[in-house]
Amino acid sequence: MSSNTIPRQRSRSSRQPTNLIQYIQDVGQITVATLLGATMLGSSIAAGGLVGLAISFRNLPDVRVLRNYLPSETSYIYDIKGTLLYSLHDEANREVVDLDEVSPHLKRAVLAIEDSYFYSHRGINPSSVGRAVLANLQAGSTVEGGSTITMQLVKNLFLSPEQSISRKVAEAVLSLRLEQVFEKDEILEMYLNQVYWGHNNYGVETAAQSYFNKSASELTLAEAAMMAGLVQAPEDYSPFVDYAIAKQRQTTVLVRMRQLGWITAEEEAAARAQPLLLGEIKSFRSSVAPYVTEAVVQELKDIFGNDAVLKGGMRVQTTVDLEMQRMAEETVQRNHALLRQRGVSADQMALVAIDPRTHFVKAMVGGVDYTTSQFNRAVQAQRQPGSAFKPFVYYAAFASGRFTPDSIIQDTPVSYPDGYQYYIPRNYDGGFMGNIPIRKALEVSRNIPAIKLGQAVGINRLIEICRLLGIESPMEPVVSLPLGAVDLTPMEIAGAYATFASNGWHSDPTFIVQVTDSSGNVLLDNTPKPQLILDPWAAASLTDVLQGVITRGTGTGAQIGRPAAGKTGTTDSQRDVWFVGYVPQLATAIWVGNDDYSPLGTGATGGGVVAPVWRDFMMQATADMPVENFRRPSDFAKP
């Protein structure tokens, strides 16, 4: 049987359907003649005639609904380079393909074993059905099927699996109707995409990918014959369950194809002898980046709804680079173990890396081990950033036009009314440095200068800037806000620092580049549309000062051999420690702490605990990136 034996698909609009009951009445002679030949409707005709038959099937579904039928499909999530991260589906793991995307070998093999007269009958095959009816009458129950591919399709789509004469009659009537409305190729295409192939694989494409790790279009004769043999009892005949039985079924299919003259004896022998390389059961595989894909799935469900995500066959390109993601996960696990060895009582760690040029999330780790804790601390845990919040204050000061990195600030005692008492800020070391440049104050993370600058620019203005930067967590206009008296997620603070790295250009951070349906129609497009929201001179001035934090300040443990800017963060009682920093191409925030808010131990600081972790990750992540210098404040006009 040549590939031309199977006709090319024609437009589904080439025929106009009629009402089902009207059809039975109008073409009664054809229907009755066919069913009489099959002997299936003899008793019905004798009992009530055509009018009774029409009334009996008044409530049968209208097969025309299949013109708009969209079977549930598996959705796939990929990294930014197209590597599959995860697939998710409801009850059916399915990828719909066109008939011309199915190997001719598989089409022939399925037809040979399931319905070799498919292209010559009109929905039912009188001879095979006749044999089945006689066998069932003799046995007094349904013991033989005789169903055509058309009958199998309507049974799967419209009818219950009940084995009864009345259901078989309904199946026959619907099959005849289906053949009047749809072309043969259309019916075969629907069947191949609908049929169950075992191990939660619905449709030929997912089955081919699972059994042989290739597309249905690439199946060889040997592979196609084995797959075709599965249809009658997929799990029983599965090569994953019993390879010997699967080979027996393959032989049965090949013999039938040879008997029909669709393959030669030589082709049969070659197919039987061909070694088969099996794939793996893929329907229930876990994600290769679970913290990422769970966040992506949640975002998709918020936008499109649960059913669309689980059944809509979405193709989701994420922003994540799987190679960098693996670096991040390994960095977190390795350094968590090292910190425990050093006596740092840290149970958890989170990491977020964002490209400042696009605000695409390149890597995200929500915890040390997803298998033991699915809580995603990168996007769900709100923790105090401590001194990692100070850059927001210093940017506000520079943007006001009243301060430069070389302006002098007083690191001297101060107090502020706070209800019925006074708030008295203190430095980490308990001392004071007197008059110092703003640059120095931030490099060594003095608290009192940050408080004074906060008062100078206004706490409400500071909150406005944070909102511009995409920080949505609640903020109270308290005097201590410049010292990080607010709960933020690592994602929020990483996204804000990425805007500093881009000299004020901002897009909303996202995990998703684009979402399409299985036909390629774009459902969501997150092409970056950056907006300049910060003063470039002030942002460049802040970056200039934050470089000093790494070269000679509290963050020397974060030196990576190229220009980098960053800030340490340590909260009271050492409950949260941070390092957040960036190069022009990548901004990364790392948090270390405990879910129960217990302290990490005396002396645990962002510079001592987290800066080396940040250095470890950034050395790997930027290894193939060209060294770039930050733009200087002199490149921009001062406000």
The amino acid at 511:
F
Q: How many residues make up the chain in this entry?
A: 639
- Give the SS3 label for residue 158: helix
Distance CA 485, CA 479 (A): 9
Q: Is the pLDDT of residue 470 over 70?
A: yes
**Is 114 an annotated catalytic residue?**
yes
Range with the poorest average pLDDT among 191-205, 277-291, 402-416, 471-485? 277-291
Dihedral sign, CA of 315, 84, 86, 352? negative
Q: Which residue from 620, 411, 410, 385 is spatially nearest to 483, judged by alpha carbons? A: 385
Q: Measuring CA to CA, which residue among 573, 574, 564 is closest to residue 614?
A: 564
Would you call 86 helix, strand, or coil by DSSP?
strand
Question: Cβ atoms within 10 A of the Cβ of 424, count?
Answer: 12
Note the pLDDT of residue 603. 85
**What pLDDT score was predicted for residue 129?**
61
Q: pLDDT, tens digit, for every residue of 86-104?
A: 988 776 778 889 999 999 9
> How far, in Å, CA of 374 to CA of 297, rounded?
14
Average confidence (pLDDT) over 531-546: 98
Domains annotated on the chain, with CATH: 3-273 (1.10.3810.10), 326-635 (3.40.710.10)
Residue 137: predicted pLDDT: 62
- Label residue 165 by pLDDT band (50, 70, 90): low
Mean pLDDT to the nearest integer, 55-83: 76
Residue with tokens 């329907």: 283
> How confident is the model over 381-386, as a mean pLDDT?
96
Q: Which amino acid is at 540?
A: A
Q: Is 529 helix (H, G, I), strand (E, B) or coil?
A: coil
- Strand stretches in 66-218, DSSP E: 75-78, 84-88, 93-94, 196-198, 201-202
CA distances to 166, 183, 379, 493, 622 from 178, rounded to whole Å, are 18, 9, 51, 59, 60
**pLDDT at res. 176:** 83
The average pLDDT across 557-566 equals 98
Predicted confidence (pLDDT) per residue in 396-451, tens digit: 999 999 999 999 999 999 999 877 788 999 998 899 999 999 999 999 999 999 99
**Closest C-alpha to 167, from 158, 179, 178, 180:** 158
Q: How far is CA 564 from CA 41, 66, 355, 441, 556, in A?
A: 83, 60, 14, 18, 11
* pLDDT value at residue 145: 47
pLDDT (tens digit, 9 = 90+) per residue, 118-135? 998 888 877 766 655 664
Residue 636: φ, ψ to 5°: -125, 160
Q: Which of 44, 72, 387, 518 is catalytic?
A: 387
The share of the chain scoring above pLDDT 70, in percent, equals 84
CA separation, residue 435 to residues 263, 391, 395, 409 (Å):
93, 20, 20, 6
- What number is the average pLDDT over the span 263-274? 95
**Residue 301, both tokens:** 């469900």
Provide the pLDDT for residue 87: 87
Burial grade of 208 (CB within 10 A; 0-12, 13-18, 19 or more): buried
pLDDT in tens, 616-636: 999 999 999 999 999 999 999
SS (H, E, C) 580-625: EEEECCEEEEEEEECCCCCCCCCCCCHHHHHHHHHHHHHHHHCCCC
Q: Give the model's pLDDT for residue 37.
A: 42
Q: Is 171 a catalytic residue?
A: no
The residue type of 381 is: A
Roughly what angle, to the nearest 10 degrees, separates helices 221-228 and 243-259?
110
Q: Do residues 542 and 580 make contact, with C-beta atoms less than 8 angstroms apart? A: no
Tokens 């001194």 correspond to 387
307 pLDDT above the threshold of 50: yes
Give the separation between CA 542 and CA 394, rounded to whole angstroms.
Answer: 7
Positive or negative: CA dihedral 468, 470, 473, 478: negative
Check pLDDT > 60 for residue 42.
Answer: no
DSSP 469: T
Most confident range, picked from 82-96, 143-157, 609-623: 609-623
State in Å, rounded, how far the first CA of the chain is from the last one.
Answer: 79
The model's pTM is: 0.76
35-38 own/partner pairs: CB under 8 Å, 24+ apart: 35/124, 35/172, 37/126, 37/130, 38/124, 38/125, 38/126, 38/129, 38/130, 38/133, 38/172
Position with higher pLDDT, 240 vs 4: 240
Q: What is the pLDDT of residues 199-252, one digit of tens each?
A: 888 889 989 999 999 999 999 999 999 999 999 899 899 999 999 999 999 999
- Residues 313, 511: Cα–Cα separation, whole Å: 19
Residue 525, Ramachandran bin (φ over 0: left; ψ between -120 and 50: alpha; else beta): beta
d(CA 481, CA 464): 13
Query: Could you identify the residue written with the tokens 């990136």?
Result: 625
Q: Are 238 and 259 in contact (CB under 8 A)?
A: no
Average pLDDT over residues 6-24: 34
Burial (CB < 10 A; 0-12, 13-18, 19+), residue 121, is buried
**What is the C-alpha separation between 600 and 577, in angstroms, rounded?**
9
CB 17 within 8 A of CB 68: no
Return the SS3 of 134.
helix
Tokens of residue 398, six digits: 């520079």
Q: Which of 73, 87, 103, 114 is catalytic?
A: 114
Phi, psi dihedrals of residue 363, rounded to the nearest 5°:
-155, 145
Rounded CA gap, 162 and 155, in Å? 10
The reported pLDDT for the residue numbered 194 is 86
Distance between CA atoms of residues 441 and 394, nearest Å: 10
Q: Name the token pair of 312.
A: 């809509």
pLDDT in tens, 311-360: 888 999 999 999 999 999 999 999 999 999 998 999 999 999 999 999 99
Q: Roughly what angle, to the nearest 10 degrees, separates helices 265-273 and 243-259?
A: 170
**Two tokens at 407?**
């302006």
User: Do residues 590 and 578 lie in contact, with contact meaning Cβ atoms separated by under 8 Å?
Assistant: yes
Confidence of residue 159 (pLDDT cuts 50, 70, 90): low
**Res. 259: pLDDT tops 90:** yes
Q: Tell me which residue has tokens 């009458």.
A: 137
What tokens were used for 524? Answer: 């969501």
Residue 369 φ then ψ, to 5°: -150, 110
Contact yes or no for 384/578 (Cβ under 8 A) = no
